[in-house]
Structures are given as C-alpha cells and as structure tokens.
Amino acid sequence: MLALGEIWEDPVKGHRVGCLDAANPEHIALLMGDRKATLAVQDPPYNQVAFEQMPIDEYIAWSSRWVDNCQWSLTEDASLYVWLGADQNNGFQPLPDFMLMMRGKPVQSRSFITMRNQRGYGTQKNWMCVRQECLYYVRGNPPFTPQYTDIPRKTNGYYKEVGGKLTENSERSKSPFIRAGNVWIDVQQIFYKLEEDVKGCYAQKPLKAIERIVLASSREGDLVVDFFAHAGTTLLACERLNRVCYTADIDLRFCELTIQRLLNYRETGKTGGDFLSDASEESSQLGPQLTLFSEG
Ligand SMILES: C[S@@+](CC[C@H](N)C(=O)[O-])C[C@H]1O[C@@H](n2cnc3c(N)ncnc32)[C@H](O)[C@@H]1O
C-alpha cells in the first residue's frame, strides 16, 4: 500500500503515481523531480454537496494553492485544463469565483469547453442539468492540434473562392467529420455497462474526453500532469497515446486503483474494471516503489 508522501514509479514507461496533496508544494516538487510538463489536466473536487464542502473563500484559497503548484510544474509553453462544476442551486459555484481567481494568475484564458452529459438532474422543474465545464488556459505558445469528432459533416453548400475557383465547403474541409469545438456532444458519459467503467469511481471522466485534450495539447513523449488522479484516466490516456504521466491523489485507494488500472490495461487491453476490492491484496505486485518523501 502507498502511504501519504510516497510515489510509485512505473518501471516500463516512467509514469509516476503519488499519494500526495496537490496543495502541498513539497509534495509536488517531489512528484516532478527535475522535470516539467507541457500539459496539465486537472479535475479537482468541485466543492458540491455530494462531496465534502468548504466555504467558497476557503475552496478558492485552496484552489489558488494547487494552481500555483501546477504552474510551477509546467514548462514556459504549456496548457492547463481544469474541469469544474457550476452548482445552479448555489450561485453557480465554484466556477465564477474560480474564474476570477485565475485572472490573477500568469496564464491566458483560451477556451471554455462544455461537455454534455447524457443523464442529468432537475428534469421536471428546471432545464435538465447536463453540463460538465472545462476551462482551458495557456502560457507561452504551447502546441495545439485541432481534433475531429466522429460526427459526419452533413451541411454542404458554403461556397468560397479559393485560388480563383469556386469551392464548396466539403471540398475545403480536412476531414469528413466535424471538428471538435468548445461544446462536446459526442462523448458518452461513464455508466456501469461501459467497458471503461471503474467500479467505485463516482467522478470518472470519459477516456475519449481526456484523450481529445492530450492529443490536442501535447506531443508524443511529452510529460503530462494530473494532481487529482481518481480513476487514473489521464494516466491511461497517456499510456495509450505515448505520453508520460505524473499523477497524484490524496486518497491512497485511488492511487492503488490508478496503478492497477494501468497494469491491468497492459495485461488485458481492458480500460475498466473493479480494482477497489482487491487493491490491497495486489499491491505487493506493484514493482519498484520509490519513497521520495515521507511525512515522518
Ligand atoms: C473529481 S475526482 C477526479 C476524477 C478523474 N479525472 C477521473 O477521471 O477519474 C477528484 C479526486 O481528487 C482527489 N483529491 C481531493 N483532494 C485532493 C488533494 N488535496 N490532493 C490530491 N488529490 C485530491 C480525490 O480523492 C478524488 O479522487
């Protein structure tokens, strides 16, 4: 079992999984060693009623601390994505205060992505709430490669003159599919029947969404960080797309599960499973384990 302050290093591809506090600068310094990442995909707890809730000022002060640690872990030309909730029954918190806090950080806002969930709440007395918000910031000039959905391009008839020749939009486009914009309607929300479902992970993000971000904002071989691993989706996306991932979670069960999910994927090709129930039994098979930091 990993303990708080310990980091596991993958002997095959060099990924790291730390049982660490994202808001603690010493923990993040140990996770990073002498490396910096070109992409951060962060999915912190949203401070909503279902989970542990803090007063908004405290939540924003805590967010500011982990954002500073994240900035420190990035190269000069890097991208930062933050998934966040907006509670419609509570002033849309914490999204607006988080956005204001970010205006004081040395990053440029780039996009405000909304992913549509298939299931929602509030269907009878309000508009059904089906949104997942993701903020995209950059610093410097990081890579960006447009990504395509699997929705076929249907609308034709937009003519434009190119090099003296009248062309229709389907002739000009780079793909028969629609390019992903900042509203994602083509990503299936995780539910128990999907192969990628990880049992016991209440906040698991779809691999398709994380892979879209990784493909758009990093190159093969790049280092990607995620301080809130949970089901280890960013790590798995990096494994599949030939990036290296340094990830962490404060809850050791999610650290173990993140490692087991990776190892199981290598062995079986399966992206999901039930790892919480046997995480402790399997942990002796984790291979080299670095204790880079111990709280004593
Ligand atoms: C919303 S989930 C992340 C979901 C993840 N992106 C996925 O696809 O599975 C948030 C995670 O942050 C972890 N967490 C909460 N506070 C933390 C902290 N201070 N440092 C690191 N992880 C923390 C929780 O244990 C939880 O697993």
Tens of pLDDT along the chain (296 residues) come to 788 999 999 999 999 999 999 999 999 999 999 999 999 999 999 887 655 678 999 999 999 999 999 999 999 999 999 999 999 888 999 999 999 999 999 999 999 999 998 877 666 888 888 899 999 999 999 999 999 999 988 777 778 888 888 887 777 777 888 999 999 999 998 988 899 999 999 899 999 999 999 999 999 999 999 999 999 999 999 999 999 999 999 999 999 999 999 999 999 999 999 998 755 455 445 655 666 655 54
Which of 198, 230, 233, 246 most suits a substitution to test ligand 1, by most atoms within 8 Å of the C-beta? 230
Instruction: Kindly provide the b/e burial profile for residues 109-138, where b requires at least 16 CB atoms within 10 angstroms of the residue's own CB.
Output: ebeebebebeeeeeeeeeeeebebbbbbbb
Atom of ligand 1 nearest to the CA of 22: 20
- Which residue owns the Cα nearest ligand 1 atom 12? 228
Nearest CA residue ID for atom 19, ligand 1: 21
- Helix/strand/coil for 265: helix
Ligand 1 centroid to 289 CA: how many Å? 21
Q: Which CATH class is domain 6-149+180-286?
A: alpha beta
Looking at residue 159, its pLDDT comes to 80
Return the axis-axis angle of helices 207-217 and 233-240, rounded to nearest 10°: 60
For the chain, give percent helix, strand, coil, nearest 5: 25, 30, 45
Q: Which atom of ligand 1 is nearest to the CA of 62?
A: 19
User: b/e per residue, 231-256, with b = 16+ CB within 10 A?
Assistant: bbbbbbbbbebebbbbbbbbebbbbb
Helix 56-72 and helix 25-32, axial crossing angle in degrees, nearest 10: 30
CA 119 – ligand 1 centroid, Å: 22
Entry pTM: 0.91
pLDDT of the residue at 2? 85
**Which residues contact ligand 1 via a Cβ below 6 A?**
21-23, 43-45, 201, 203-205, 227-228, 230-231, 233, 248-251, 254
